[in-house]
Amino acid sequence: MELHRRPKSAERDKDIVNKTIVLAKFLPEPVKAQEFLTKFSSHLFGDNMLLIGMETIVRPDVACKECAEATSLVLKKLGQPVMTNLYYNTVKMLLERVSSVMIDHESLKILVGYVEDCLKGGNLVEEVGLHPNSAGERGLKLLMMLSFVFPAHFLHEDVIRHLLCLLDLDDEIVAPLVLSVLTFLGKYKPIGEVFPKIIQELTPVCKHFAVRGTTKQAKHAIRCLYVNLVDNHATVFAEIL
């Protein structure tokens, strides 16, 4: 979308063509798809509201409701939603691959709460029919996968603080998975850069796991610190060594 905001130039047009070719490869009938994506690119240049809608859809931290509304707006501008409208169906397939209509900040807040309930042996385990011995771990692995794909939705103070609370649980499987989540966030944007107060709280926790934790806990604690600190790396790691 950023290319469509640039001033017209041969280089810009070449970049758009190259990206259109790449996108078309992920859709059925790439040759036809490229033709319709090229048409869609021209449509974006001619309709600023359409471009704004697409910019909203691809924004990393977009909320599900906002994304769904923008998707609906975009599709309405593509003609009738019938099988014979190949232009509409091609762009619709593209939107299905890039739209975030299930995961956002609010849904993650709820999910972290559910995972905590499972780890503490709450009623949720029975309600959803999961095995009590594995429900919490499976929930943490789900959070880890989501943090890799949707790190921007995790990058909120309430979500991160809730994750930090999980590190207090007396279960050695918890820390490596939670620290992995925080590591993926740090690779996207260091926690120390966004939330300086939180990194001050996280640093001693990671240092504790690095010195007194299991081998797995120590390894993940070091990784977490490395990507989330914005300065004082030498001092912090010297204290650990």
- Crossing angle of helices 233-240 and 215-228, in 10° steps, is 170
Round to whole Å and give the CA distance between 33 and 54: 18
What pLDDT shows up at residue 30? 93
What pLDDT shows up at residue 53? 94
Going from N- to C-terminal start, the domains of the chain cover 2-98, 117-240
Does the structure show a pLDDT above 80 at 236? no
**Whole-number percent of the chain with pLDDT over 70:** 100
Residue 71 DSSP SS3 = helix
Longest Cα–Cα distance of the chain, Å, equals: 67
What pLDDT shows up at residue 129? 79
pTM for this prediction: 0.85
Q: Decide if 109 contacts 162 (C-beta within 8 A).
A: yes
pLDDT higher at 131 or 76 = 76
Round to whole Å and give the CA distance between 73 and 71: 5
The residue type at 164: L
Tell me the average pLDDT across 151-173.
94
Does the structure show a pLDDT above 90 at 194? yes
Across the chain, mean pLDDT equals 91
Q: Six-digit token pair at 98?
A: 């890039």
The residue type at 120: K
